[in-house]
Amino acid sequence: MRNLLLASVASMGALLAATSGAMAQPVKPVAAGTVVVHLNGYLQFGINDMGSTYNTYSGNKLSSVATNGDVRLYAGFDAQTVSGVDYGTQIELRTTTSDAGVGAGKTTGTGSTQGTSSIYVKRAYGYLGTPDVGFIRFGQTDGAFGLTQTGVIEAFGDGSQWPGDGSQVIVLPSGATPGNFIYADTSSLYATNKILYITPAYVEPLLGGSLSATVGYEPNSNGIKEGYGSYSTAGSTAADLASSTSASDLGKRRQNTFDAGMLYTLKANGFATKADIGFIHGTPIRYNGTTPLTAAQKFDDLEVLQIGAQTTFAGLTVGANVKAGQVKDGYAFKVKGTRDALAYTIGASYVLGPYVVGASFFDSQSAGGYTPGGKVRGRSLSEYGTAVGANYVIGKDLSLYVQYMYGHAHQVAGYLSNNGTSNARNSVQVQAIGTGATFKW
């Protein structure tokens, strides 16, 4: 059961593991009556040659060579009472920066402005339980929908590919980069405060596999302490806002989110197989204003169903995942009257000694920027992306990688807008090839 509860850092034991968070605590096994404190980390650097539809735009031009990098710290502890109850915490710290073109602490040549680099909390949660009764996890953490996600292969190259936050994808202009919702390991889902229950593993007698379930509840889409700093009256900045008189609050905040997932695992005849089914539902802020809403300000509930599976044999892992429902890229609310979304991903990775090779592909159809009655966008946004990568694992804490990514997004232009122009996304694309190093400890 502990393998179901691991924290982000546990899945990083092998350097090829994805940089996104994952399933389980405790991070380190502990003996009864003891406490183990840990400070793990992650550092990645890469250099890339990249191009896109928007490398040249409105007189500006991007260099084709860019670097990416990311630093994360994972602090916490794991403990067990003398009676066998496991408990502990996990905190994930990341870096963020400001002022493009100005290094952190570097004064510009024309003034005193300095670039900044700061640390912020991405995940922070505690857990408590036993393998026999299950575990409760609480805090700013991955939900049931993300924890049970299966068949999304990212453990090659930079370890993240399209949902990356600091990896190769960060150097690509977002206007030309395909968005997606096929990856549930996204901060719009895991950087929020919630409570989860993970059941004990049930061993089914027919094949000998194990079945477990995870359920979660998120009252609102705030993180730890977010929305309480100036909480004097009900207002748009309040953490537990349920309805608003301002249309600008609609669609950007989520409330009463429930998610659930079931995970089946089986090891037989040299195969290690996993399959999952999951569901997530959330509602937007309600509107109490007097000004009539436009079509673009009315939103459906968030509802997504996923099914995934993967299997590993002799170092080869293959997997696939499908998601469908009322959603837009980034798990945003879709406008009422627009199409439901459908996406799938397939991928594979192969480990042979210190070498890893892998590839993945995703395709997504969603409403994009279409609004009923609008004049500038077609009904569907079509997006796809592929990634191919390889690793050489030098040691348990260091891996070198090379990776290529290509992505495309297209939304048919509709009628011209009132000023005679069309701002539909039409057809945009990006690509990048890069190499780098990943340290994990």
The string of DSSP letters for 374-400 reads -SSEEEEEEEEEEEEEEEEEEETTEEE
Write the CB contacts of 269 (distance below 8 Å, at least 6 apart in sequence): none
Domains of the chain: 2-100+116-228+238-440 (2.40.160.10)
Neighbours of 65 (CB within 10 A): 11
Q: pTM of the predicted model, to two decimals?
A: 0.89
Q: Which of 10, 16, 50 is nearest to 358 (CA)?
A: 16
Write down the pLDDT at residue 229.
76
Mean pLDDT of 7-30: 46
pLDDT confidence of residue 146: 95
321 forms bridges with which residues in the sheet?
308, 345
Q: Which tokens in the block code for residue 281?
A: 């539902």
Q: Which of 256, 265, 308 is nearest to 284 (CA)?
A: 256
From CA 203, how far away is CA 62, in angstroms rounded?
55
The pLDDT value recorded for residue 111 is 55
Q: What is the pLDDT of residue 390?
A: 98
The mean per-residue pLDDT over the stretch 105-131 comes to 78
**Stretch among 161-170, 268-277, 338-347 having the lowest mean pLDDT:** 161-170
Residue keyed to tokens 């502890």:
77
Cβ distance 321 to 183 under 8 Å?
Answer: no
- Where is pLDDT greater, at 434 or 165? 434
Model confidence band, residue 31 (pLDDT cutoffs 50, 70, 90): confident
* The predicted structure's pLDDT at residue 27: 54
Residue 438, Cβ density class (10 Å: 0-12 exposed, 13-18 middle, ≥19 buried): buried
Average pLDDT over residues 115-129: 89
β-pairing, 426-440 with 116-130? unpaired
List beta partners, residue 68: 46
> For 185-196, what is each residue's pLDDT tens digit?
888 999 999 999
d(CA 94, CA 336): 36
Written as six digits, the tokens of 106 are 């570097």
Tell me, what's the pLDDT at 89?
94
Q: Which residue has the higher pLDDT, 421 or 428?
A: 428
pLDDT for position 417: 42
Q: What integer pLDDT is reported at residue 110 of this predicted model?
A: 55
Residue 251, pLDDT > 50, answer yes
Least confident segment among 86-100, 148-162, 227-241, 339-353: 227-241
